[in-house]
């Protein structure tokens, strides 16, 4: 086996740079809203483990760059750990100290501090997509069929050259990109296509073929395949600032929808857990993108930002979504959740995260070896 050490170095830099940027953005969300509400921040760390470089700001916050670049954290005054669970000493604080402590802030303020991290991760792609759109406009390819592959899913369903696809699964569409996205997300699944054929509107039912896309590292991903091509007729639409922001929000919403559907397909067994990549797989993917262009790398960073935002909102203790779940239960109960129950939840949540990391790392290593 030959190693391209230049590519390995580029991949590591691309991953560490991109992931650290997203961690900073995420933690800055927590930090900025916490400071807005007068919470004292003791540590803002990019990475875990031993401090490589750091300095203490006038506010008392220790800004750290740590040795293990696989995450980061903001430690508020009163936190027992980087997971922001309250420490035992919180109960013995003076009235003056309580003003600086997150755990004595009103419930709505605590919830906003926690939600701010994933919210910023979801906002960043809106701005990036909006920037692309504002600079380049958007290309819309007409959804008219110019080619039907013989013996394909489209051929079996009765597609003909000249058909214009106007709806997929009862969802109206206006361009071929929307059609392609829906098809890719349904490997081996049934789909309904409404087409305009001359003066007639016809419903075509297809069982989409399941094919596998393989990247340069041998990783395989299931995708749907219909077997049609558009004519290639297109138009470029230019947008002003507010129009670009609206398109950025729409594109982000579409991406979130795709990710949620992917998670659902994993749970239902329609997709293999082997498609989920861990740190090694992400190093490969980001290195490959960076070797092509900065914009390709930025596109991967955008998708990763969305993934981090969505993952952190899952109702798993240790993650931000777990904290929000506890706050929701606190609002219903009218008081804090039992500490032992919280601690048990954190232990279970941490165990689930470790289990997931083991599974995806094994996927990465298996792919690397093969």
Q: Which of these, 257, 252, 302, lies nearest to 19 by C-alpha position?
A: 302
CB-CB contact of 153 with 207 (8 Å): yes
CB-CB contact of 37 with 109 (8 Å): yes
CB-CB contact of 61 with 51 (8 Å): no
The single residue listed with the structure tokens 């919470």 is: 39
Q: Which of these, 318, 350, 263, 313, lies nearest to 121 by C-alpha position?
A: 313
Cα distance between the two ends of the chain: 11
Taking the CA atoms of 80, 83, 84 and 85 in sequence, report the sign of the dihedral they define: negative
Task: Give the side-chain half-sphere CA count within 13 A for 272.
Answer: 11
CA distances from 109 to 1, 106, 115, 242 (A): 55, 5, 10, 30
Separation between Cα atoms, residue 198 and residue 201, nearest integer Å: 8
Active site residue 51: no
Of the listed 27, 97, 214, 247, which one is catalytic? 27
Q: What angle do CA 47, 51, 53 make, to 5 degrees?
A: 100
CB-CB contact of 187 with 200 (8 Å): no
How is residue 343 written in tokens? 């601690």
Separation between Cα atoms, residue 72 and residue 53, nearest integer Å: 14
Separation between Cα atoms, residue 82 and residue 76, nearest integer Å: 9
**DSSP H helical segments within the chain, as ranges?**
5-36, 95-98, 107-136, 153-157, 176-184, 241-268, 279-292, 294-312, 320-333, 339-369
Ramachandran bin of 184, using left for φ above 0, alpha for ψ from -120 to 50, beta for the remaining angles: alpha
User: Could you list the active site residues?
Assistant: 27
């Amino acid at each position: 086996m030959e190693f391209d050490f230049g590519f390995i170095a580029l991949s590591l830099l691309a991953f560490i740079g991109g992931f650290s940027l997203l961690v900073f953005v995420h933690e800055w969300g927590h930090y900025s809203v916490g400071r807005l509400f007068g919470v004292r921040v003791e540590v803002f760390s990019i990475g875990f483990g031993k401090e490589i470089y750091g300095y203490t700001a006038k506010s008392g916050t220790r800004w750290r760059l740590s040795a293990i670049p696989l995450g980061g954290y903001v430690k508020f005054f009163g936190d027992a750990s980087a997971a922001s669970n309250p420490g035992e000493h919180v109960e013995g604080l003076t009235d003056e100290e309580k003003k600086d402590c997150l755990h004595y802030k009103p419930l709505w303020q605590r919830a906003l501090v926690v939600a701010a991290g994933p919210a910023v991760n979801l906002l960043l792609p809106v701005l990036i997509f909006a920037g692309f759109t504002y600079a380049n406009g958007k290309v819309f390819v007409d959804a008219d069929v110019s080619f039907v592959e013989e013996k394909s899913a489209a051929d079996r369903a009765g597609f003909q050259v000249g058909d214009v696809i106007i709806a997929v699964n009862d969802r109206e569409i206006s361009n071929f990109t929307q059609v392609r996205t829906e098809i890719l997300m349904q490997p081996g699944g049934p789909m309904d296509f409404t087409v305009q054929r001359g003066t007639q509107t016809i419903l075509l039912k297809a069982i989409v073929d399941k094919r596998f896309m393989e990247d340069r590292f041998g990783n395989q991903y299931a995708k749907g395949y219909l077997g049609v091509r558009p004519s290639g007729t297109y138009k470029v639409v230019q947008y002003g600032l507010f129009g670009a922001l609206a398109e950025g929000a729409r594109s982000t919403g579409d991406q979130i929808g795709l990710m949620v559907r992917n998670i659902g397909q994993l749970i239902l067994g329609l997709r293999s857990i082997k498609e989920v990549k861990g740190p090694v797989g992400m190093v490969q993917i980001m290195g490959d993108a960076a070797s092509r262009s900065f914009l390709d790398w930025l596109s991967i960073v955008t998708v990763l930002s969305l993934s981090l935002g969505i993952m952190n909102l899952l109702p798993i203790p240790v993650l931000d979504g777990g904290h929000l779940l506890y706050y929701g239960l606190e609002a219903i109960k009218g008081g804090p959740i039992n500490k032992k129950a919280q601690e048990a939840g954190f232990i279970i949540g941490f165990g689930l995260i470790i289990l997931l990391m083991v599974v995806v790392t094994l996927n990465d290593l298996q792919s690397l070896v093969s």
